[in-house]
Amino acid sequence: MGKEILPVRFAVLDKVLNLARANSLWPMTFGLACCAIEMMATAMSRFDLDRFGAAVYRATPRQADLMIVTGTVTKKMAPVLTTLYDQMPSPKWVIAMGNCAISGGPFAFEGQYSIIEGVDLLVPVDVYVPGCPPRPEALLEGFLKLEEKITKTRRFPGPEKRW
């Protein structure tokens, strides 16, 4: 509707806003299991996540724009997760960290009755970071991938593709 009233393109504004959003991603504290410790290690002095402007962890979903799902999502926890996701204002992103959040991990066996095999069955996921638990460098790479997804430009050169 608005685009028809004003025949102006907002491309530059979009670009600037996306750059600002990518450089100031505020995660929500949502540590579920073992991967949470590696997420904390990423925010600490050795693998500093604050360099990219991202270590302002907000406890309330209303002030966060990134939800890093670290750990197994069980059927008891699923309503809590979707409620928190709904409470976040858009634009919002989700990183699924660890094998459990991607597809159930080592706990998806025949006859399982309690976990959800992958958080993308509940919320839309932007970046998947595999590992059990993934190294902090892997989470940083996932972060940079998310920034690349938002701004369409890559900050540091990634590893060369071999195939």
Partner 1 sequence: MIEDIVGKIGQEALRLIIGLVGVVAFVVVNALLLTWMERKVAGHMQRRIGPKEVGPFGLLQPIADALKLLGKEILTPKKVEKPLYYLAPTLIFIPALTSFVVIPFDAYLQVQDINVGILVILALSSLTVLSILVAGWGSENKYSLIGAIRSVAQNVAYEIPLLLSLLPVVMLTNSLSLKDIVEAQGKIWFVVLQPVAFFIYFIAAVAETNRTPFDLPEAESELVAGYHTEYSGMRFALFFLAEYTNIFIVSAIATTFFLGGYRGPLLPGILWFFIKSYLLVFVIMWFRWTYPRVRFDQLLNFSWKMLIPLTFVNLIITGGLLKL
Partner 2 sequence: MVEEVKSGISQLLRERRPVEEPYGEKGYHLSVDMAPKDLIDVGRFFKEKGFYLACALCVDFRDYLELVYFFAHHEGHCRVKVTSRLDPQAPYAPSLSSVFGSALWYEREIHEFFGVRFEGHPNMAYLFLHGGIDFYPLRKEKVMVSEEDRALLNSFRPEEGEDTFFINLGPQHPSTHGVLRVVLKMDGEYIERAEPVMGYLHRMHEKMAENRTYLQFLPNTGRMDYLGAMAFNLGYVTAVERLCGIKAPPRAQYVRVIATELNRISSHLLWLGAYLADLGAMTPFLYVFDDREQILDILEGITGSRLTYCYFRFGGLFNDVDEDFITGVRRFIARMRGRFQIYDDLVTKNVIFINRTRNVGVITRETARQYGVSGPVLRGAGIAMDMRKKEPYAAYGEFDFSIPTGSYGDAHDIYLVRFKEMEESLNIIEQALNGLPEGPIMAEKVPKKLKPPKGDLYHVVETPRGELGIYIVSDESDIPYRMKWRVPSFANLMVFPELVRGCLLADAIAILGSLDLVIPEIDR
Site residues for partner 1 per CB under 8 A:
16-17, 19-21, 23-24, 44-46, 48, 50-53, 56, 58-60, 62-63, 65, 89-91, 155
Distance CA 3, CA 17 (A): 18
CB of 100 to partner 1, least distance (A): 25
Question: How far is residue 115 from each of residues 18, 45, 76, 77, 108, measured CA to CA in Å?
Answer: 35, 33, 8, 9, 8
112 contacts which partner out of partner 2, partner 1, none, CB within 5 to 8 A by kind?
partner 2
* CB atoms inside a 10 Å sphere around CB 76: 9
Tell me, what DSSP letter sits at residue 95?
E
Q: Would you say 103 and 72 are in contact if contact means Cβ atoms under 8 Å apart?
A: no
Segment interacting with partner 2 (CB under 8 A) among 13-21, 24-32, 118-126, 146-154: 24-32
Tell me, what DSSP letter sits at residue 21?
H
Distance CA 63, CA 15 (A): 22
CB of 149 to partner 1, least distance (A): 16
Q: Would you say 129 and 139 are in contact if contact means Cβ atoms under 8 Å apart?
A: yes
74 contacts which partner out of partner 1, partner 2, none, CB within 5 to 8 A by kind?
partner 2
Range 124-163, binding partner 2 (CB under 8 A): 132-133, 135
Structure tokens of 134? 């993934």
114 contacts which partner out of partner 2, partner 1, none, CB within 5 to 8 A by kind?
partner 2
**69 lies in the binding site for partner 2 (CB under 8 A):** no
Give the up-direction half-sphere exposure of residue 33: CA atoms within 13 A in the CB hemisphere.
18
Q: Which residues bind partner 2 (CB under 8 A)?
A: 29-34, 36-38, 40-41, 44-46, 57, 59, 71-72, 74-77, 80, 84, 106-107, 109-115, 132-133, 135
